[in-house]
Structure 1
């Protein structure tokens, strides 16, 4: 509903069935948005205030986590043995479902990193979903992590093609032979 117009009304056209229209007051100009210095132009006081606020927030978040832990501890203490058992069973079922997904991915030859994407309640359903996902991916999915490449031999390292025998005399002779070639 609109509010009734206040003030004088403009007369309707003669012979018109429309009600008279009240002239509308001009709308006040919209407030200009507050503009301040850009982020980089805060000045030392602004930067110090932001730093102080961030530190206070970190302290508050730590306190919040500590209080949440205390509340959880209190709630756990208030639980009955059957509630604790039910919660433990729920956690074990979730772990078993996760293990089934990884088992299905392994059975299908799918990368284990894709195991969380599998959907199904039984191992057979999960294996079927893994096979379907493997077909959709085609050969683009790696079967697993690739082993690092074997480095090429470097002839500058280790012994050369000639064995010097390992004695001082043999080493001296090899040195003299190299020296004379130059």
Structure 2
């Protein structure tokens, strides 16, 4: 069986650079927001989504050199995913994610929601600066679908009449 680590070997250095860049992209002027965002990106994680962006970038360009725009798209992807996890932890009242305390357990729900909103805002700003309307439309739809999926999940909690089609539609979002 092939491990995830070996699948990402060709972009390992790019993922390391991504982790460093994410801390610099936060740029929050408020110490609490900065501390919350730094905690999130310092917690690590699989970085699956940006790895896929980088792998596809490498596979679809002629000289196999990942450009700054590809890197920024990978960073934006991770920021959006991280923001969604922060909000998810608040909704689920989670105290720990991957053995690390959640932002809401370290600070409070209000700070966690604002930190997630801040990350969504930062990612939208960087996304707009890519000057690629198709990518902006696509990632905007992803964010909309994630929110819709969370609402569907919240409304169908403990609903034993949910159909498999309904469950799959909610899970897809």
TM-score, with normalisation over the residues of structure 1? 0.20
| Higher RCO, Cα 8 Å, sep 6+ | 2
For the pair shown, the structure with the greater C-alpha radius of gyration is 1
TM-score, with normalisation over the residues of structure 2? 0.21
